[in-house]
A = this chain, B = another copy of it.
Amino acid sequence: MKDVVFDYARAARIGLPEAVFCEGKPLETLAELLTRFGQGGEHPVLFTRLAPEVFAALPETARAGIDYHPLSRTAWGEILPRQPGGKVAIVSAGTADGHAAWEAARTLEFLSIEQTMFEDCGVAGLWRLLERLPKINAHDVVIVVAGLDAALTSVLGGLTPQPLLAVPTSVGYGVANQGETARHSMLASCAPGVGVFNIDNGYGAACAAARIMRLLYP
C-alpha cells in the first residue's frame, strides 16, 4: 500500500475525483483503502467493481460506514457536495443490463448529479420506449445501456436531441460474445453523434455526463 501514488490533483485538473477499480486487488489492500477513504477520510473516493463476495469477505472495520450497492458493485464512504443542477436519464434495454445501468446511476449519485432510471425499454416491445420518451427527453443527457444487438441505441438516437452516451453490456450468450456485438452495433449505429464506452462501463458514461454537466453548470 505505501507505494501507491494517488493522483489527488485529478479533481482539480479534470473535475473528476480518483476512483478505485477493485477487481483483482488483494483483500488487504481493499481493506486498507476502504478504511482510509471510507469513513470521512481525506478525499471522497468511489470504489467500482467491488464484488458482493469480496465485500462480504472484508473485515467489519473496513465495511463500517460504507454505502455499498451489490448490483452495481460500487461503494463509498461519502459523496461529493451537491452540484447546482442538471439531470441525466439512464435508459436500459432490460433488467439484465442492471449491473451497468446502476453503475452509471451510482457514479452519478457519488458525483451528486441527479438521475432517473428507465429500465426495460428494449425495442422488441417498442411501446415501452415510446410511451416514456417525453420523460426521457426532459433530461439534459441520456445514457443508453444495452446488450445483445443493442438496437435500442439507433432507435433512441433518432428520437432524442440530447447528448447520447452508449454503454454496451456483456449480456447474452453465443454470438453476443461478452458484449462485443453490442459494442460493435453501438459504434456502427446509424443514429448520428453517439459516443460509445467500454463493455459494462457505466462508470465511464457517468464521468462523460459529468464533464458535460460541469460545462452546463460551471
Contacts and interface: CB of A to CB of B under 8 A. Distances in A.
Interface of A: 3-5, 7, 9-10, 13-16, 19, 21, 23-25, 29, 49, 93-96, 119-120, 122-128, 140-141, 148-155, 157-165, 168, 170-201, 203-212, 214-216
Given A25-B96, A177-B184, A10 B193 contact: no
21 contacts: A5-B128, A14-B161, A14-B192, A24-B171, A126-B158, A148-B189, A149-B153, A149-B184, A149-B185, A161-B211, A161-B214, A168-B174, A174-B183, A174-B200, A176-B198, A184-B184, A187-B198, A192-B207, A193-B204, A193-B205, A216-B216
A190 B5 contact: no
A163 B5 CA distance: 26
A185 B185 contact: yes
Nearest to A11: B161
- Counting every copy of the chain, the complex holds 8
Contacts of A94: 190
B162 A155 contact: no
Chain A at the B interface: mostly helix, strand, loop or mixed?
mixed
Nearest to A127: B9
B208 A173 contact: no
B165 A175 contact: no
A162 B211 contact: yes
Given A5-B119, A174-B178, A193-B211, 18 more contacts: A9-B127, A10-B124, A14-B158, A126-B155, A141-B215, A149-B185, A151-B152, A164-B208, A174-B183, A174-B201, A181-B181, A182-B188, A193-B207, A194-B197, A194-B204, A196-B197, A215-B216, A216-B216
